[in-house]
Structure 1
Amino acid sequence: MNTERLLERFLEFVQIDTTARPEADSYPSSPGQLILGKRICEHLAAAGIEVRQDEHGIVWADLPANVDRDVPRVAFCAHLDTSPELPGAEVRPQVIRNYAGGDIPLPGSPERVIRFDETPALRQALGCTIITSDGTTLLGADDKSGVAAIVEAFTYLAEHPEIPHGPLRACFTCDEEIGHGVDHITAYKMDAVCCYTLDGVGTDTIDVETFSADEAKIVIEGVNVHPAIGKGKLVSALKAMASLVNRFPRNQLAPEATEGREGFLHPHRMEGTVERAELRILLRDFETGQLVRQAAMLERMISEVREEFPGIKVDFEVRKQYRNLRDGLKNEPRVVAFAEEALRALGRTPRRAIVRGGTDGSLLTEKGVPTPNLSSGQYTPHAFTEWACLEHIELAARWVVAIAQRWCDSEAAR
């Protein structure tokens, strides 16, 4: 692998603003995703790789097989967008080479520090190259570490035709962070026996389960009159919504109070006026059936607020987002097994994990393309203290190459 090239491209990618915009009615939801996709096309085309950006902004790249036997096509996927929860524009990366340990101050925001004692993963990065933002934005390693790893792996394979592999496909999606990553992808388009997303935290980890997920939207309409004459007439949508939010559990069924396989309800976005207020809620659980129970809990809370605030109108809807990829992976057991064997071939020890979130792989698996999620050298996503380790991104790229080789084995091709 070309480590400096990998770093250079990663730094280029994170400085392109690809923040997903949930309020947009276009795909992709932000123009920066198209810009990043174009740059990926230019990098891969320069390596002689067949690549195109389709009408939806999704980038597709293909490496033909270089062996004379039938080998199933394997795909790799990462997403171009970054989370809308924090700023993603004007990213100013900080590069720390030969990290010696200790706290990492973020220069643009002195009050924000990545604490060594509070960040166990930093111990695995001693002597490595660490990349952070300046603390005023996300870094964007979620998922530009995965993007950079796949681009480097495909470039490396193109430069080393002596490495045997079957047909390989790379797919770079848009708007994964707002649940639309694979809206325009079908199993027919992917045309692969399986896919691997590189969107995981850390190293050596294969995510084999995700949350099942829905999002609820609640709109409350109040009665707005001039406050000077509001007695007996004015009904505040804001106060009604505040009352609703106050009913959410705090010590259970909340992200700040759960871990492991525990699900939650998470009100994550609220806006409004006296006349109209809107609330968005994440529903999450590893067992899909629990989402129905969570929605029923919300309906009970809404009924209580209707009684408390006569005159309000409430609209409540729940939108399906993704489902646990666990069941789909059972249909093709080689997918996870070969990823583990490939990592062992690199002298590493694989670890299976569950992820308290979702990836494009959750939806791809549901569409018929088994897709576990691989770690890609990113850490603390969706936070100002997000960081990445260059050597761990490089390991992810090497893992892609090793997986390609494992699927090329004569036994795997049967």
Structure 2
Amino acid sequence: MSAPENISNTVTDRFLRYTAIDTQSDPGSESCPSTEKQKNLGRLLVSELLEIGLSDAHLDDFGYVYATIPGNTDKEVPVICFCSHMDTSPDCSGENVKAIVHKNYQGQDIVLPDDQTQIISMKDHPDLKDQIGHDLITASGSTLLGADNKAGLAEIMDAANFLINHPEIKHGTIKILFTPDEEIGRGVDHVDIKKLGADFAYTIDGESAGTIENETFSADGVKVVIHGISAHPGFAKNKMESAIKIASAIVSQLPKETLSPESTSDLDGFIHPVSISGSVEEAEIEFIIRDFNTESLKSHEQILEQTVQQVLKAYPNSTYEFIVEEQYRNMKSVLDRYPNLTQLGIEAIERAGLKAKLQRIRGGTDGSRLSFMGLPCPNIFAGEHAFHSRQEWVSVQDMQKAVQTIVNLASIWEEKS
């Protein structure tokens, strides 16, 4: 049985409630969660899950929310988990978000009132052409919205509420997992896979309605530390070798027409400097290295290190450290072993009346790492657009379709078992 078209949705109210809570993560923090304020949303979610009737809902010390929707069938059905993350990106403020619902969008530019230079136009956001007649939610112009990934949270919560109140929809045991710190690459560092007890999972963290993703970048982080030579600037001739200038030269000599986020798309990988800091004596540059082909990461890193070495030829007394850290790997190598997982996701989307689109993510999700932790996990749309920016937006109707898709997935896994 598929989810009915006329679900009495709570998804919009939930989403607006969640966006009002600042949950920005902090890459400079070593704690988990990286910011305690993420637990404020976690506690609200637990309260709502308990109110729905999920008696085991709880928030652990690391900021993870776990809950179970008990199965209501006599069949043996694989245990499925639905997962979204609570944090918002550190790239843009998430404090004092003022969400605005724009009813019955008709293709016009949307000027955000708190900063009227922030204009959401169809020219810059071509996906808006599919939103005519929809109700769009934006922030007010001074913050991001938080649809990435509070839309996913609200959709899972609404689907859980529907399943509990409609026992005629048969399903196996469903697990719910809400994570902190996904935006800083640490979203599953402390997930208790054994306690979760799921066989397969779906992250609800994708963009356009109808999309399902079974392939991500593979990702490394690289830290380049430059050890320069300090000297008093008044007496520095032929002595000083400024680590700041060396670091700047390295960044300026990176490829620009290739291997750069600004000049790549589709299957292209890149080398991307994300921070630079330091002093004359020591400077540090942090990079993210991305490619769909895991082996290509090594060649990108070789290009980066060769650039460092070339620059340092002009600074004979300076040295460097080149530190590579694995971040996540392309989940396709795991998901290809479980084709049914993606296929049932496609069927669930199409039962919701959408055309399913299988595609890849030029990024990563919690599902990337969960897949390699023994929990195969493709990514399904949440409807979020222009994430990590003040022009972020989401469609109410797309969120409702995501709720239907989640309910359909629960039902389809029971049907096929």
For the aligned pair, the TM-score class normalised by the smaller chain equals over 0.9
- 8 A Cα contact 2:156 2:406, kept in partner: yes
Q: Using the alignment, how far apart are the partners of 1:10 and 1:293 within structure 2?
A: 42
Q: 1:101 aligns with which of 107, 117, 129?
A: 107
How far apart are residue 82 of structure 1 and its match?
A: 1.1
How far apart are residue 407 of structure 1 and its match?
A: 0.3
| Within-5 A mapping of 1:252-401 | 252-401=258-407
How far apart are residue 118 of structure 1 and its match?
A: 2.6
| Within-5 A mapping of 1:78-117 | 78-117=84-123
1:48 and 2:53 correspond: yes
Q: Using the alignment, how far apart are the partners of 2:384 and 2:362 within structure 1?
A: 16
TM-score (norm 1): 0.96
Report the more deviating stretch, 335-344 or 258-267. Answer: 335-344
Q: 2:241 aligns with which of 235, 251, 259?
A: 235
SS at 1:213 equivalent? strand
SS at 2:32 equivalent? coil
How far apart are residue 312 of structure 1 and its match?
A: 2.2
SS at 2:46 equivalent? helix
- 8 A Cα contact 2:69 2:160, kept in partner: yes
Q: Using the alignment, how far apart are the partners of 2:113 and 2:166 within structure 1?
A: 40
In structure 2, list runs of 5 or more residues that go unmatched.
1-6
Corresponding residue for 1:222?
228
Corresponding residue for 1:16?
21
- 8 A Cα contact 1:74 1:193, kept in partner: yes
Letter in 2 for 1:219: V
How far apart are residue 126 of structure 1 and its match?
A: 1.5
Q: Using the alignment, how far apart are the partners of 2:128 and 2:70 within structure 1?
A: 38
- 8 A Cα contact 2:66 2:196, kept in partner: no
Q: Using the alignment, how far apart are the partners of 2:287 and 2:8 within structure 1?
A: 43
In structure 1, list runs of 5 or more residues that go unmatched.
none
1:58-101 CA distance string (max 9 Å, x none): 00110110112211110110011111112221212122111122
Q: 1:408 aligns with which of 407, 411, 414?
A: 414
SS at 1:336 equivalent? helix
Q: 2:158 aligns with which of 132, 140, 152?
A: 152
1:330-361 CA distance string (max 9 Å, x none): 22221111111122222222110011011001
Corresponding residue for 1:39?
44
- 8 A Cα contact 1:198 1:375, kept in partner: yes
Letter in 2 for 1:400: I
- 8 A Cα contact 1:22 1:178, kept in partner: yes
Letter in 2 for 1:225: A
SS at 2:84 equivalent? strand
Q: Using the alignment, how far apart are the partners of 2:69 and 2:351 within structure 1?
A: 22
Q: Using the alignment, how far apart are the partners of 1:140 and 1:271 within structure 2?
A: 28
- 8 A Cα contact 1:104 1:116, kept in partner: no
How far apart are residue 187 of structure 1 and its match?
A: 4.1
SS at 2:247 equivalent? helix
Letter in 1 for 2:121: R
How far apart are residue 117 of structure 1 and its match?
A: 2.5
Corresponding residue for 2:3?
none
Q: Using the alignment, how far apart are the partners of 1:112 and 1:17 within structure 2?
A: 21
SS at 1:308 equivalent? coil
Letter in 2 for 1:33: Q
- 8 A Cα contact 1:240 1:305, kept in partner: yes
How far apart are residue 246 of structure 1 and its match?
A: 0.9
- 8 A Cα contact 1:186 1:367, kept in partner: no
Q: Using the alignment, how far apart are the partners of 2:83 and 2:315 within structure 1?
A: 48
| Within-5 A mapping of 1:72-83 | 72-83=78-89
Corresponding residue for 2:4?
none
| Within-5 A mapping of 1:158-173 | 158-173=164-179
Corresponding residue for 1:30?
35
Q: Using the alignment, how far apart are the partners of 1:384 and 1:309 within structure 2?
A: 42
RMSD: 1.3
Corresponding residue for 2:182?
176
Q: Using the alignment, how far apart are the partners of 1:148 and 1:272 within structure 2?
A: 41
SS at 2:277 equivalent? strand
Q: Using the alignment, how far apart are the partners of 2:178 and 2:13 within structure 1?
A: 19
Report the more deviating stretch, 185-194 or 339-348. Answer: 185-194
SS at 1:31 equivalent? coil
Corresponding residue for 2:130?
124
Letter in 2 for 1:26: S
How far apart are residue 165 of structure 1 and its match?
A: 0.8
Report the more deviating stretch, 311-320 or 261-270. Answer: 311-320
- 8 A Cα contact 2:351 2:405, kept in partner: no
Provide the aligned length of Structure 1 versus Structure 2: 410
SS at 2:353 equivalent? coil
SS at 2:383 equivalent? strand
SS at 1:315 equivalent? strand
